[in-house]
Structure 1
Amino acid sequence: MSRVCELTGKGPMVGNNVSHANNKTKRRFMPNLNDVTLQSEALGRGIKLRISASALRSVDHRGGLDKFLAKAKDAELSERALKVKKEIMKAATAAA
């Protein structure tokens, strides 16, 4: 399982551990990923995603999963998230 956020594409970063003696060794900064179930209003069901804590705050800020995916760039989304986005867009156009 890759350590990449399904909504924002945020992944591991590389940096250094720096000791008191200023010795530097490589390390990885992992994103804070959580398994969450987000409710889709258009689909009327929950969608399980593995997203970062910052992405979860962004979803709440934008007003839910449907509105977040409507504004999200397709290049940043995972294949599962793109599939959900297409389902939501199809359901939204059918309802309108």
Structure 2
Amino acid sequence: MSRRCELTGKGPMVGNNVSHAKNRTRRRFLPNLNDTTLVSESLGRSFSLRISASALRTVDHRGGLDAFLAKAKDADLSDKALKIKKDIAKAGATA
């Protein structure tokens, strides 16, 4: 399972551990990923996604999964999230 947010594409970053004596060793900064279940209002069902805590706050701020995916760039989304976005767009077009 990759350490990448399915909604924002946020992944591991690299940097240095710096000791008091200024010795530098490489380290990884991992994103704060959580397994969450988000509900789509237009599809009427829930989806289990592995997203970062900052993405979860952004989903709440934008008004839900549907509104978030409407503004999200396709390049940032995982294959699963991209399929959800297309299903939501299809449901919105028929309604």
TM over 0.5: yes
Shift of 1:87: 0.5
1:41 aligns with 2:26: no
1:91 is aligned to 91
Which amino acid is 2:9 matched to?
G
2:63 is aligned to 63
1:79 is aligned to 79
Query: Per the alignment, in what secondary structure is the counterpart of residue 7 of structure 1?
Result: coil
Query: Per the alignment, in what secondary structure is the counterpart of residue 85 of structure 2?
Result: helix
| Deviation sequence 1:20-72 (CA, Å, 0-9, x none) | 11100000000000000000001101011000000000000000000000000
TM-score by structure 2 length? 0.99
1:32 is aligned to 32
**Residue correspondences, number:** 95
Structure 2: where are the runs of 5+ without partners?
none
- RMSD, matched Cα: 0.4
1:19 is aligned to 19
TM-score by structure 1 length? 0.98
Structure 1: where are the runs of 5+ without partners?
none
Give the share of equivalent positions with the same residue, in percent.
77
Moved over 3 A (4+): none
| Deviation sequence 1:53-94 (CA, Å, 0-9, x none) | 000000000000000000000000000000000001111111
